[in-house]
Amino acid sequence: MNHLPKPQPEALAHSICVSERIAERLILARGWLSFAEYMQLALYEPGFGYYSAGASKFGGAGDFVTAPEISPLFAEVVAGQIDVVLRAIGLGDLLELGPGTGAFAAGAIDVFNRCGTPIERYRMLEVSADLRERQTERLERVGQERPLREWCDRLPETFSGVIFGNEILDALPCERFVTRDGQYWRLGVGLAVESSSSEPRFEWRVRPADGSAPGDDEFRQEAAHLQQSLRLQGIELPNDYCGEWQAGLDGWFESMATSLKAGVMLLADYGLPRVQLYHPERTRGSLRCYYRHHAHDDPFLWPGLNDITAWVDFTRVAEAAERAGLRVQGFTTQMAFLAGGGIEQAMSRALETANSVSPGMTTAEQAQLASGLRRLLMPGGMGESVKFVMLGRGDEIDLPSFALRDLRHTL
Ligand SMILES: C[S@@+](CC[C@H](N)C(=O)[O-])C[C@H]1O[C@@H](n2cnc3c(N)ncnc32)[C@H](O)[C@@H]1O
């Protein structure tokens, strides 16, 4: 980890508080926590976790950059497709899950005003008080009155319209497993014993899901389902294979589907269909941590200061959504979604609009717009690693974004 920049003393002090909080839970749990519980505490523990405390996470000064931060063209195209859905269903709201800095919302509100989109409210589900404040400030700068903006900390009981989320599923706490002689064992967290410092340190602890720890039954069911469905495809994971899955996806989609009375969910996340994600050669899984734009694979380093993510099994997403009564109406790569939704035309329009008034766009600004476009579409990068999935009930809505490359058969 020598390549990582060292945190400031106050950030390190905060991380020690997070570690102590996790250590307390570990002691209460008799020395072993599932990785999902650890991730929940490290990312979301109120007042302490990475997303719940005040650190700057997004953008150049943060730890990672998401698509809405990379280029305004992302919101321009995605909001254009949301406009198509809202027109198809008549009138509805938009509910954005985890809106980050509000970059997507700012761009989308602009599109809705320009297009006269039939939308009443732009709702944002945000549990972090600190991020809400950032979103409010960002949206105040947009200045438009409509649609009405509302924040909530839980799903509305009933909702009609579009539920949109960028990089939400890959931020949900995940279970980790390792294979031992054909069995899936739980890869959880324990306190490191040889620690020379006074602050708690954590390490991986493997144990069979034998029913003696909370969540063992769910883990066994999930593991059996994964193993069986891989076997149907002729895949047997080798010994010592490590992988992850997002915990509690069935419940998550059940609550989304209960709320969604009409309309669709549109989700964009890093991930793959199951047979590609659990390819026997991907032996170390997809768990990644981000600190100041450096990716690493040690989630026990500076808890509370790192983002932690794992790629999404989109086949599991489709299963969970279908169990909850939703159908997969579209599945494709980010590159195909944005290209099908007209990102090149959006780029030309942005240049034309900016250059129609004096002094126009500088060469540096034009180069920045072009570089953002390339990053969004990059085949070896997020253009292909990020997938868009649309889930809905009722009649299928044809979106140009999904027409270019329909990948539903790969799920
Ligand atoms: C990687 S950030 C993405 C932020 C933003 N969507 C963007 O693209 O810049 C992940 C976000 O998911 C949010 N999140 C995690 N679990 C969530 C849940 N169950 N419901 C809604 N948002 C959640 C986190 O609080 C965090 O803001």
289 touches 299 (CB < 8 A): yes
Assess if residue 264 is contained within a domain.
no
In this structure, are 194 and 290 located in the same domain? yes
Q: What is the pLDDT of residue 359?
A: 74
Q: What is the pLDDT of residue 91?
A: 79
252 Cα nearest atom in ligand 1: 19
Length of the chain (residues): 411
Q: What is the pLDDT of residue 195?
A: 61
Mean pLDDT by 10 residues, the chain (411 residues): 84 93 95 97 91 74 86 97 95 94 95 94 91 90 86 95 97 97 96 79 96 96 97 96 97 97 96 97 95 92 95 98 97 98 92 78 86 94 97 90 96 97
In this structure, are 147 and 117 located in the same domain? yes
Hunting for tokens 């969970």 — which residue is that?
320
Domain count, the chain: 2
CA-based nearest residue to 151, from 166, 138, 167: 138
Does the pTM exceed 0.85?
Answer: yes
21 touches 41 (CB < 8 A): yes
Domain termination site, one of 264, 286, 319: 319
96 Cα nearest atom in ligand 1: 6
172 Cα nearest atom in ligand 1: 16
At residue 229, the 3 state secondary structure works out as helix
In this structure, are 83 and 206 located in the same domain? no
Assess if residue 182 is contained within a domain.
yes
Domain termination site, one of 266, 289, 319: 319
In this structure, are 191 and 288 located in the same domain? yes
In this structure, are 16 and 36 located in the same domain? yes
- Protein residue closest via CA to atom 20 of ligand 1: 97
Strand intervals (E) in 314-396: 327-333, 386-392
Q: What is the Å distance from ligand 1's center to 127 Cα?
A: 9
103 Cα nearest atom in ligand 1: 9
Q: What is the Å distance from ligand 1's center to 357 Cα?
A: 37
Which CATH number does the domain housing residue 309 bear?
3.40.50.12710
**Two tokens, residue 110:** 């602009």
CA-based nearest residue to 376, from 403, 350, 344: 344
Q: What is the pLDDT of residue 4?
A: 85
Ligand 1-lining residues (CB < 6 angstroms) = 51, 58, 66, 68-69, 97-100, 125, 128, 166-168, 171-172
Domain span at residue 335 reads: 67-170+323-410
Q: What is the Å distance from ligand 1's center to 34 Cα?
A: 21
Q: Is the dihedral of CA 98, 378, 82, 353 positive or negative?
A: positive
In this structure, are 165 and 33 located in the same domain? no
In this structure, are 406 and 352 located in the same domain? yes
Assess if residue 85 is contained within a domain.
yes
Output the CA torsion 203→208→210→213 (10° steps). Answer: 10
Residue 393: Cβ within 10 Å count: 17
